[in-house]
Amino acid sequence: MTQQDIVRKFDRVPAAVVRQAAAFQPAILADVAGRRGAMHGRIKALHPRMKFAGTAFTVEVRPGDNLMIHAAMSLAQPGDVLVIDGKGDLTAALMGTIMMTACKQLGIAGVVIDGAVRDTLEIDEMDFPVFAAGYNPNGPTKNCPGRIGHAVTVGGVTVQAGDFVTGDADGVVVVEREKIESLLPAAAKKVADENARIAAIKKGDTAAKWLESALRSAGVLKEGESL
């Protein structure tokens, strides 16, 4: 491992922008970001109530080895989210109660692992947000080098250090650091529009006004036909 494998300094989304963006559901942000940035559904919250928002602190490890996660924990700043490329390996847990307790104490906002964790009941009781691809009681090794602060692929999404990352019961969404602030007005408008539509549905306006046009475009209905 060389010094270049650990990037200590990188630009982060400003804390004020993180607070504003955290008010929106990941689903809303994914929609206004062009329906992209959502990780594969295998990356799930340990409990549906768990949610987080923060800046990505990226970690790449060898399957089943958590050496670089320990290093990342010592370098991460409060408000960072550990986003760990564990190669989707589920043969050994990369983190458990001890490490998660330390993360919470350090002010880390959450952990996202494309890999396995363990001690899930204890982590649930801690109410610390952890999103993982699965679980395994086997412990990890601490022998292999990896990288910190570099681009990683987690749940099929490329994540750069400093990007905005958020998660809830639906899953995890990543938005580029340079893009997140510009999306906030669109996110606010989408929330307002959806609330108005739900209110109209509750008053009996259940028809999807776009549906017949879409069916014609798809060739399901001919011109002049209706459902």
For residue 44, give the CATH number of its domain: 3.50.30.40
CA separation for the pair 88, 82 (Å, rounded): 16
List of the chain residues with pLDDT < 50: 1
Could you tell me if 133 and 195 lie in one domain?
no
Q: What is the dihedral of CA 101, 106, 112, 117, to 10 degrees?
A: -20
CA separation for the pair 42, 143 (Å, rounded): 27
Could you tell me if 38 and 137 lie in one domain?
yes
Query: How many domains is the chain partitioned into structurally?
Result: 2
Identify the pLDDT of residue 4.
86
Could you tell me if 39 and 81 lie in one domain?
yes
Q: Is residue 44 part of a domain?
A: yes
Q: Is residue 20 part of a domain?
A: yes
Q: How far is CA 34 from the centre of its chain?
A: 16
Could you tell me if 28 and 140 lie in one domain?
yes
Residue 188's SS3 state is helix
Could you tell me if 165 and 63 lie in one domain?
yes
Whether 72 contacts 148, CB under 8 Å: yes
| Burial class of residue 149, CB neighbours in 10 A (0-12, 13-18, 19+) | buried
Identify the pLDDT of residue 2.
53
Identify the pLDDT of residue 224.
85
Q: Which domain holds residue 211?
A: 185-217
Could you tell me if 176 and 192 lie in one domain?
no
CA separation for the pair 209, 143 (Å, rounded): 59
Could you tell me if 166 and 206 lie in one domain?
no
Q: Is residue 102 part of a domain?
A: yes
Q: Is 178 left (phi over 0), alpha (psi -120 to 50) or beta?
A: alpha
pLDDT digits (tens, 9 = 90+) for 91-126: 999 999 999 999 999 999 999 999 999 999 999 999
Q: Is residue 154 part of a domain?
A: yes
Could you tell me if 131 and 202 lie in one domain?
no
Could you tell me if 64 and 155 lie in one domain?
yes
Helix crossing, 97-106 with 67-75: angle to 10°? 20
